[in-house]
Chains A and B, each alone.
Chain A
Amino acid sequence: DQQVKQNSPSLSVQEGRISILNCDYTNSMFDYFLWYKKYPAEGPTFLISISSIKDKNEDGRFTVFLNKSAKHLSLHIVPSQPGDSAVYFCAASATGTASKLTFGTGTRLQVTL
């Protein structure tokens, strides 16, 4: 039972363009969402988060949008840079189980020159 889904296993974007990574969830109890970036042979590193009371959070080139009614969130990277090439994981947590993150399967982003 995959409660957090990232349906695109990979994405290729040209440098300077926008990258849009999508994530869907099924558990309506999830109220906090995070994006992590992972390089090979390293642990995931936190990128950006959003609480369910918001619909948008921005941090520099990274913006996360949350659509609660559709149970959908997306990460926008503008402009994309070659160093952004990595695997991106969407994760979610629910109040009361705030210690536990449920991750999606990840999307591999490749930013080409």
Chain B
Amino acid sequence: GAGVSQTPSNKVTEKGKYVELRCDPISGHTALYWYRQSLGQGPEFLIYFQGTGAADDSGLPNDRFFAVRPEGSVSTLKIQRTERGDSAVYLCASSQLKLQRSGYTFGSGTRLTVV
């Protein structure tokens, strides 16, 4: 596609529920990243995929968070037993290789609200 696509754009869920956030990267981009941006903060790194494998998941806050990229393209970020503190904008980005001089391309994000 022309850009990084994230769905849904907004998600409201009840505390304790399970959510899935989807990211469709730019076609041909092998690297995919998830970030989380809380109110008043900059984006915080969650996980980085190179192809199908998670090359760096050091930013995942706890075991309620999990991400997959089974075919090396679309990725899904999964959050179990959601908490109010999970409310944030979840950003996905992709790049052709690892971080390049032009940075990577972000999607518009999914705003997750846990009530």
Chain A interface (Cβ < 8 Å from any Cβ of B): 4, 6, 32, 34, 36, 41-46, 49, 51, 89, 91, 93, 97-106
B99 in the interface (beta carbon within 8 A): yes
Which residues in chain B, 2-48, are within 8 Å of chain A measured between CB atoms?
4, 31, 33, 35, 40-45, 48
**How close is A40's CB to chain B, nearest CB, in angstroms?**
10
B104 and chain A: residue at smallest CB distance: A46
What residues of chain B have their CB less than 8 Å away from a CB belonging to chain A?
4, 31, 33, 35, 40-45, 48, 50, 55-56, 58-59, 91, 93, 98-99, 101-109
CA distance A4 to B43 in the complex (A): 12
Further contacts, 5 of them, CB under 8 A, given A51-B101, A99-B48: A43-B105, A97-B56, A103-B42, A103-B44, A106-B42
Contact, CB under 8 Å: B103 / A98 = no
Give 27 pairs: A residue, B residue, CB < 8 Å, sorted on A. A32-B99, A36-B106, A41-B108, A43-B4, A43-B93, A43-B105, A43-B106, A43-B107, A44-B43, A44-B91, A44-B106, A46-B103, A49-B101, A49-B103, A89-B42, A89-B43, A91-B42, A97-B56, A98-B99, A99-B98, A99-B99, A100-B48, A100-B56, A101-B43, A103-B44, A104-B42, A105-B40
